[in-house]
Homo-oligomer: A and B are copies of this chain.
Amino acid sequence: MLATRAAKAAMNTAPESAIFRDFSAAVRRALESVQCITYYPAGAVLFVESQPSSGVFFVSRGRVKLSVSSRDGKTLILRVAEPGEALGVGAAVCGRVYEATAETLEPCEISFIRPSDLRRLMSQYNEFAMRMTEHLSREYNSTCRELRSLMLSESASERLAKLLVGWLDTNGETRQHNRMTLTLTHEEIAQMIGTSRETVTRLLTEFTKKQLVQRHGSTLVVRNRGALESLITA
């Protein structure tokens, strides 16, 4: 643990295998022998919706935006993947096309594994298969909740409130419990809650006027979490 922190501090290279550390030594060794580690800049596209799976991407560092989009250019951001997540598992397991498009939001370190290796390791190591299944299950679960909260709330303000409260909870570990940094543009926030850029701007100013939040640059302070939560009915 100390060593890990030291290494991280020394050469900002969190061990890329950190993502595999929960596995047994055998599985970890097998994974490390077939992985291909790549460093991507911000804005790099890992894979594109409806293209055949080229493999699984394990995010070691950085955040990745997962989205789907329609022919006329409208985009819906499914979620933002954090370090530790695997992307494209479903497509790789079944040899199908990717369900979404993955694009890095920041410089990222990513381990790539080919579908054939993935399937081989899954049948070789039951532990690994179970882990991948659990991952898929969690992914499925989060998509259901996304669908739920997007479709069952009629107003855009409800969806924005829910998004902000959610961010508060995930950022809570590292930052203050009522303060967060908006790393996405209004446009991207709009794409997350299925509305327009203008509406996001208007809602944020409305929230500010109602004293629910305060904004200083890209920092957003939640002043009245209770009121924000009371907007949520779904």
Chain B nearest CB, measured from A190 CB (Å): 12
Nearest CB in chain B to that of A144: its residue:
B99
**Docked-complex contact A150 and B152, CB < 8 angstroms:** no
**Docked-complex contact B144 and A76, CB < 8 angstroms:** no
Q: Does A70 contact B (CB under 8 A)?
A: yes
**Docked-complex contact B137 and A93, CB < 8 angstroms:** yes
Q: Binding site of A, secondary structure by majority: helix, strand, loop or mixed?
A: helix
Partner among B72, B96, B126, B137 whose Cβ is within 8 Å of the Cβ of A136: B137
Q: Which of A108-146 contact B (CB under 8 A)?
A: 119, 122-123, 126, 129-130, 132-134, 136-141, 143-146
How many identical chains are in the complex?
A: 2
**Docked-complex contact B140 and A136, CB < 8 angstroms:** yes
Cα distance A78–B141 when bound, in Å?
13
**Docked-complex contact B134 and A143, CB < 8 angstroms:** no
**Docked-complex contact A147 and B70, CB < 8 angstroms:** no
**Docked-complex contact A130 and B123, CB < 8 angstroms:** yes
Q: Which residues of B contact A69 (CB under 8 A)?
A: 152
Tell whether A141 pairs with B96 under 8 Å between CB atoms, given A69-B152, A136-B136.
Answer: yes
Closest 6 A/B residue pairs (Cβ): A90-B137, A70-B152, A70-B234, A99-B144, A140-B140, A133-B133
A interface, CB within 8 angstroms of B? 68-72, 74, 76, 78, 89-91, 93-94, 96, 99-100, 119, 122-123, 126, 129-130, 132-134, 136-141, 143-148, 150-153, 194, 233-234
